Structure 1
Amino acid sequence: RYAVVESGTASLEDFRKEVDDLQFSIETKKNIMENLRGFPFSRIPQILKGISGLDDKKAQETILESKRNLLRQNEILEVVHIEDGIDQIGGLNELKKWIVERKDNFSKEARDFGIPTPKGMLMLGVQGCGKSLTCKVTANIWNFPLVRLDFINLFRKGRSVEELLKEAIVTIEGFAPVVLWIDEIEKALSQDTKGAEIRRILGWLMTWMQEKNEPVFLVATANKVSLLPPELLRKGRFDEIFFVDLPSKSEREEIFRIHLTKRSRNPEDFNIPKLAEDTENFSGAEIEQLVVDTLITAYSKKSDMSQKILEEVVRRTVPLSVTYEENIKELRIWSRNRARNASGNRRIESFFTK
C-alpha cells in the first residue's frame, strides 16, 4: 500500500552511472534521478532499461506514470494528472512566472547555491478562476507526480484521522519529489471547528509544514479566508500566498482564445475584445461554460458557432460574482496587503463600491 523502504547499504546513488550512460539531456537525467525515489531498488534496472530507447519527454512521462501507479495503490491519496501545460492558464502571469522560476529549485545544485527547499504556496481567491488548474499544471511543469489529499474523505474512513494523515504524509515523502494538493483547506481546518482531533491535526500539520525536509511541495487552495486558522497564514508556512481575482479584460480575452482553440474554433473568427468587454466580472470557468453553452445552442440550431450566438448566451448568463459579491469583496480587502496578486499588478478591484 505504501512506499517500499529498503534497508541495507543500497542507495539511489548506486544507479547514478546507469542514468548518466543514458542518451538524454542533463536536465532529463537530473529529473530521472529525482523521480526514481519510491521505487524498490530491485525494479530500477528494469525501469531504466525500459526508457533507454525513448526520447526525453516520453522517458520522463513513463517514469512518472509508473510512480503514479504505485501511489494509486494508496486508498487515502488521489493521484491527479492532466495533459495541460502552462499555455492553458489564461492570465495569472505573476503566478505563472513564480512557478516557472522554481522549476529547478528542488535540485542538489539549488541547495549548494544556497536556495532552501521550496515548501509550498497558498492560493486563495474567487471560485472558478484557475486555482485548481494551476495546481495540476504546476506538477506538469516540474515533472513531479501530483497527489490530492481530501480531508473530508479522511473523516469517512472510520479510523483516526490523525493516524491516516500521518500515514499519507509518510507515503508521499517516500515518493518525493511530489506536489501535494489540499483543495479548499479551510473546510477541513476551519477555526470554527472545535473538535479536539481537528486541533491535534492542525498542530501536527503546522509542525510538518514548518520542519519538513523532504521535497514535498504543498499547494493549498482556499475560497473563504475568514475560515482559515490564523496559524496557517504565519510567515514560514508557505513560500508565498497568492490572491487569484476575477480575470481582467486582457485575461478574459486570453481565456476566450484558449477555450475557442481547444474546441477547434479559430479565435480570429470572433470579436474577442467585445466578448471580453461584455463579460466583466465573469470567472474563467464561467467563460469556458459560455463557449460550451454556445456550442450546444449552435448544434441545436443546426448551425455553426458564431459571434451572434455567443453574445446571446452571454446576455442570458448571470455570473457568480453577482451572488457572492460580499464574499469577493471580503477576499479583496483581506488580500490587499497580505497576499501577492497572481495577475501581476497591485490593483485589487472594488467594483461593488461603485
Structure 2
Amino acid sequence: MKIGATLADVDPMQIDCSVRFDGVGGLSDHISALKEMVVFPLLYPEVFERFKIQPPRGCLFYGPPGTGKTLVARALANECSQGERRIAFFMRKGADCLSKWAGESERQLRLLFDQAYQMRPSIIFFDEIDGLAPVRSSEQDQIHSSIVSTLLALMDGLDSRGEIVVIGATNRLDSIDPALRRPGRFDREFLFSLPNQEARKEIFKIHTRDWTPKPLDMFLEELAEKCVGYCGADIKSLCAEAALCALRRRYPQIYKSSEKLQIDVASIRITAKDFAMAMQKTVPASQRAVASPGRALSSVSKPLLENTLARILQALQRVFPHAEFALQKDQQPDSVNHVLRNDTVDSDEESPSIFEEKPTHKMPSREKEKFLSFSRNAYYQPTSCRPRFLLVGEPGYGQASHLAPAVIHALEKFPVYALDLPVLFVTATSPEETCAQLMREAQRTAPSIIYIPHIHLWWEAVGATLKATFTTLLHNIPAFAPVLLLATSDVCHADLPTETDGSIYFRQ
C-alpha cells in the first residue's frame, strides 16, 4: 500500500479542485457520455443490475493540444468526489511509469492498478498515453512492447478490473497500439476538435463570468466570430492578455517602477481595443498546432465575393443537405448529430415487443413483420448520394484562396480533413497511408468534409499508387454517407483529367 500510494496523485490538494463541469465549455456531449460511464453506475446501480450489463470502463480522448482533454478529466474527478461519494483519482503521465531498470515499468503499472482496485471506485487517467503505449512493431524495442502487453493484460486480463475507469489522452491517435482501441479496454473514443462559434462563445462566457461588469452578450458573440481557429487554451490566454493590455493602458508607470504603487483596481476597464490588441499577440491553434483551412471573408474581399458565397452555400445545400442544419443560427447544439439518427430511434410510436410473452388474442401475428426498420425519412433526415462539390474559376478568381475557406468557415460545425499536397508529402508516413488515415477518420466522424484545393494540380502531382488508393477509398465510402468532397480547380470542368472526372463525379 505504501509503495502503491507513491505511484498516484491521490492527494486532493494536488488536483485543481476549482474545475467543475460548469467550467468546461462546448463539450456537453462528452460530459454526458462521461456521466453515463462513471456517475450513473454509482447513482443508479439498479439499472445495470437488472439488465446484467457492465458500463463502459475506458475512454480515449484525442484531438489537438489545448482543446480540453486534461481539463475534462480534472472536472470529472472533482464532480465524482462531491458529497458522500468519493472516487479516488490517479493521474499519471505516460513517461512517469517508464524506468531504466528492466521490469520496473511493468511493476509500477501493476502496483498502480492494485492500488486503484483497493481504493475502488477509482479513475486512472493516463495523460499523453502515446508515450506509454506506442504501436508495437518490429522496429520498436522490446521494452516498450512489454509495457504495452502488460497494460493490455491489466485493462482486460483474466483478473477482473472491478470499478476502475481508465481514461487516456493523446494528440497522436495513430501512435497508439490498435489493441487498446476495442470494447473492454477503451470502449469509447472522444474527438476534441477545435471549437465552433457557439462553443467559443460559451468558453468566453466561462472565462469572463467573474468580471465586473460582465461583457455584453453581443460583444462576446462578435468576438467568437472573429476568433476562428482558437482552441480553449487560446481563448483563456486571450482573456488574460486583454486584462494585461487594460492594465498596461491604465497604469503604464508600474512597468517603470520597481516598487509597489498604489493603484485603483476598479478603474481598470477592459475595452474592445484591448481584445483586438491581445488577438494580435496570440497565435491561434490553427496556425500553431493544427492547420484549419476555414477562414471568413476579409473586409477587403467581402464586398466583392459575399454574393457569390451566398449562391455557393445555397447550391451546396442541395448537394449536401446536412449543410442546412449547420447554417441555422438558432439550432440546438446537438442538431447536427440529430440528422444522423434513425427515424426508428426518434419515433414516439410504441415499437413491438422483442421478448417472449404469452400470446393473446389481441396480439396480431408478427411472423413476417420486421422488428428493425432503418428506413430514412426524406424530411427529417435529408441526404444525397455521394455528395461532391467543385468550385471552378479562372486563375486569380479566389475560389481556393477566399471562397473555399469561407465555405468551410460557414460549415465549421463539421470536421474538415484537408488532403492537399503539403499534408500528404510533408509527414513522415507514406502519402498512401496518410490519405487512408484521413479518409477513414472522415468516415468515422461523419458528417464531415474532405477538402482538396487545386485538384487539377493535385491529380497531376500524385503517383499512380496514390490515385488508385484515393479512388478505392472514395468508392468504399457508403453511397449515402454524409461525407462531402469539396475541391477547387483553376480549369473548367470539361478540361479536368478524364480519370478525375470519371472517378469523382463532381456535381457543380
Listed as ranges, the gaps of 5+ residues in structure 2 are 82-86, 251-267, 293-415, 418-433, 454-486, 488-508
Give distance in 2, aligned partners of 1:233 and 1:338.
14
Tell me, yes or no, if the aligned pair for 1:176 and 1:216 is still in contact at 8 Å. yes
| Structure 1: gaps (5+ residues) | 4-72, 340-345
Q: Deviations over 1:267-305 (max 9, x none)?
A: 327601111111111101000000001111111111421
Root-mean-square deviation (CA, aligned residues, Å) is 2.8
Identity %: 22
Mapped pair 1:96 → 2:44:
no
Name the structure 2 match of 1:187. 131
Instruction: For 1:193-272, list aligned pairs within 5 A.
Output: 194-211=140-157, 212-264=160-212, 266-268=214-216, 271-272=219-220
Q: Taking structure 1 as reference, are residues 293 and 333 closer, same or farther at Cα in structure 2, changes over 3 Å only?
A: farther
Task: State the shift of 1:118 in Å.
Answer: 3.0
Q: 1:335: which partner in 2?
A: 441
Instruction: Compute the displacement of 1:264 (Å).
Output: 4.9
Instruction: Name 2:270's counterpart in structure 1.
Output: 305
Q: Does 2:23 match 1:84?
A: no
TM-score by length of 1: 0.71
More helix by share: 1
Q: Does the 8 A contact of 1:150 with 1:182 survive in 2?
A: yes
Counterpart CA distance in 2 for 1:155 and 1:242 is: 26
Cα distance between partner residues in 1 of 2:193 and 2:150: 31
166-175 or 324-333, which moves further after superposition? 324-333
TM-score norm. by structure 2 comes to 0.50
Contact 1:146 1:180 in 2 (8 A): yes
- 1:134-181 per-position Cα deviation (integer Å, ceiling 9, x unaligned): 111112233323211223122247571111111111111110111110
2:224 is the alignment partner of 1:276: yes
Aligned ranges 1:30-109 → 2 under 5 Å: 74-79=5-10, 80-102=15-37, 103-106=39-42, 108-109=45-46
Give the C-alpha shift of residue 133 in structure 1: 0.7
Contact 1:146/1:179 (<8 A) preserved: yes
Work out whether residues 270 and 307 of structure 1, in 8 Å CA contact, stay in contact via their aligned partners in 2: no
Contact 1:81 1:146 in 2 (8 A): no
- Partner Cα separation in structure 1 for residue 30 and residue 452 of structure 2: 25
Q: Provide the rounded CA distance (Å) in 2 between the counterparts of 1:262 and 1:350.
A: 40
User: Matches of 2:449 and 2:209 in 1, distance apart?
Assistant: 29
Match of 1:292 in 2: 240
Letter in 2 for 1:101: E
Comparing 134-143 and 120-129, the one that deviates more = 134-143
Cα distance in 2 between the residues matched to 1:104 and 1:84: 20
**Counterpart residue identity of residue 222, structure 1:** T
Q: How many Å apart are 1:197 and its aligned residue?
A: 2.3
Distance apart, 1:265 and its partner CA: 5.0
Deviations 1:205-259 (A, max 9, x none): 1122224431110111110112111112133322211111000100000000100
1:314 match: 279
Amino acid at match of 2:95: I
**Structure 1 partner of 2:88:** 145
Q: Deviations over 1:43-71 (max 9, x none)?
A: xxxxxxxxxxxxxxxxxxxxxxxxxxxxx
Shift of residue 307 of structure 1?
1.8
Residue type of the partner of 2:276? Answer: E
2:94, 2:128 within 8 Å by CA — same for their partners in 1? no
* Structure 1 residue corresponding to 2:104, chosen from 156, 160, 166: 160
**Does structure 1 conserve the Cα–Cα contact (< 8 Å) formed by 2:442 and 2:450?**
no
User: CA, structure 1 residues 199+236, in 2 after alignment: closer, same or farther (shift >3 Å)?
Assistant: same
- Are the aligned partners of 1:86 and 1:137 in contact in 2 as well (CA < 8 Å)? yes
CA distance in 2, matches of 1:351, 1:273: 28
Structure label with greater radius of gyration: 2
Shift of 1:325: 3.3
Partner SS for 1:267: coil
Q: Using CA pairs under 8 Å that are at least 6 residues apart, name the structure with larger relative contact order, 1 or 2.
A: 1
Distance 1:195 1:96 in 2: 37
Q: Contact 1:176–1:214 at 8 Å: present in 2 too?
A: yes
